Structures are given as C-alpha cells and as structure tokens.
C-alpha cells in the first residue's frame, strides 16, 4: 500500500495522454526524489499555466494572457496582418498548429477543434469540439475562400474529417472550397508527429 500523497500523484499522472499506471508511478517517484527547490519550480510552472493561459477567441489556440486590450484574446497568428486570411486550416490540437507552422509552407489562419471527443466518435463528444464556432466564423468572414481539413491520418481523424466536410457543405455557400491534406501522410499517423517534408508535401498536394 503506497502512502496516500504518492498514490495521489500517480492518479494525477494517469490522467495524462498515453500514461499508464507504471509510467505514472515512475514519474511520481522521480518527483519525490527531487529537491524542494526543483519541486517548487515544477509546481509554480503548473500554477502559472493555470492562471496565465487563455484561448484565442477566433482560432482557440492556447495563448498567454495579455495586457493588450485591443487584441486581448487574439493569438499572434490571428492578429498578424501578414497572414493570408483567405485560407483557414482546421486542426485537432495546438501541437498540430506547430507542426504545420514548422513546414514554412503555410501562411493562412487556423481553427483548433480541441482534443476532447476525438478518441471516441460520438455525438456528445463531437459537440465538445469548436465546430459551431467554426461555422459561425466562416459565415461571418467574406475573406475565407478555402477551408483545409487537416486532421490526422488515423481512423478517428478520417471519420472526423468526413463529418466536418459534410457539416461544411451543409452549412456554407457552394463557393467555399473544402480541401484535405494530400495522402502523403502514412495511415495511422498523427499530424503532430509528421516530419516537415512529408507534411509539406501533404499541404502542397491537398485535394
């Protein structure tokens, strides 16, 4: 029977993606062996993330809280006048934005759906994604001409992509072009783990 504080740590770590009980236990025992200074820094980083982060009001990327009243809830991409506002790329999570940005092949906008509900494709979970906001955003913009669906090449990602495509066709004017990444992506691959060259080719070969 483990001491309660250690078990509590393990329980928290098992809530992280892809972390099982054994790995969670390794994390917990690693932490308790650290100095008080290191633990305080670790705890402070978590508290700061909780207090000082928000979501972009347009694309739903995670951003640091800002003092700029005019652009208080806009990320650096959404408020950048140099970005191509005629294209919007739909991704599942923040790390996918970073993956696409690292290719240097894309200069448009983004819309982050959020990870909630992607592992189990059901109506209640889908409603947790930012799909209604996406439809509203595109309808309210006269600039957006192309919508790129950039979900992962997994079963869940493909199912989500088909759902989004049908939703967009149903709710948007016919002059909005809907494309998907080219199939240079290996089946079963998540977008954030793609190398830059493969992802670049998938962007260039979108259909």
Structure confidence at residue 191 (pLDDT): 76
The better pLDDT of the pair 206, 150 is held by 150
pLDDT for res 202 = 73
Which residue has 């993956």 as its token pair? 99
Least confident segment among 29-38, 88-97, 172-181, 182-191: 182-191
Q: Which residue has the tokens 């004017």?
A: 173
Rg for the chain, CA atoms, rounded? 20
52-86 confidence digits (pLDDT tens): 888 899 999 998 876 555 656 889 999 999 999 99
2-11, 100-109, 114-123, 129-138: range with lowest mean pLDDT: 114-123
174 and 145 in contact (C-beta within 8 Å)?
A: no
Q: Are 150 and 89 in contact (CB under 8 A)?
A: yes
The pTM of this model reads: 0.80
CA gap 12, 32 in Å, rounded: 14
Beta bridge pairs of residue 153? 189
Q: How many C-beta atoms surround the C-beta of residue 162 within 10 A?
A: 13
**Pair 190, 158: CB distance under 8 Å:** no
154 or 123: which carries more pLDDT confidence? 154
76 touches 109 (CB < 8 A): no
Q: How many CA atoms lie within 13 A of 162 on its CB side?
A: 7
Flag whether pLDDT at 181 surpasses 50. yes
Mapping DSSP to helix (H, G, I), strand (E, B) and coil, where does residue 109 land? strand
Angstrom distance (rounded) from CA 43 to CA 155: 37
Q: What is the mean pLDDT of the chain?
A: 86
Q: Is residue 181 within 8 Å of residue 203, measured between CB atoms?
A: yes
End-to-end, the C-alpha distance of the chain in Å comes to 56
Q: Give me the mean pLDDT over the 141-158 stretch.
A: 89
CA distance 96 to 190: 9
3-state helix, strand, coil in the chain (%, to 5): 45, 10, 45
DSSP secondary structure code for residue 143 in this structure: S
Task: Report the C-alpha gap between 113 and 157 in whole angstroms.
Answer: 12
Sorted by where each starts, the structural domains of the chain and their CATH numbers stand as 83-204 (3.40.1360.10)
Which pLDDT belongs to residue 117? 45
């Amino acid at each position: 029977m483990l001491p309660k504080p250690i078990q509590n740590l393990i329980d928290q770590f098992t809530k992280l993606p892809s972390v099982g009980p054994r790995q969670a236990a390794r994390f917990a025992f690693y932490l308790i062996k650290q100095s008080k200074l290191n633990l305080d820094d670790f705890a402070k980083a978590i508290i700061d993330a909780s207090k000082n982060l928000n979501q972009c009001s347009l694309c739903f990327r995670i951003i640091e809280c800002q003092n700029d009243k005019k652009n208080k809830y806009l990320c650096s991409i959404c408020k950048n006048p140099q970005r191509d506002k005629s294209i919007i790329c739909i991704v599942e999570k923040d790390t996918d934005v970073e993956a696409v940005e690292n290719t240097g092949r894309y200069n448009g906008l983004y819309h982050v759906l959020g990870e909630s509900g992607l592992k189990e494709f059901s109506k209640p979970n889908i409603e947790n994604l930012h799909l209604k906001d996406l439809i509203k955003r595109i309808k309210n913009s006269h600039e957006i001409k192309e919508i790129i669906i950039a979900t992962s090449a997994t079963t869940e990602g493909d199912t989500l992509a088909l759902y989004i495509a049908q939703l967009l066709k149903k709710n948007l004017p016919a002059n909005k072009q809907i494309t998907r990444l080219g199939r240079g992506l290996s089946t079963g691959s998540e977008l954030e783990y793609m190398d830059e060259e493969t992802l670049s080719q998938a962007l260039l070969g979108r259909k």
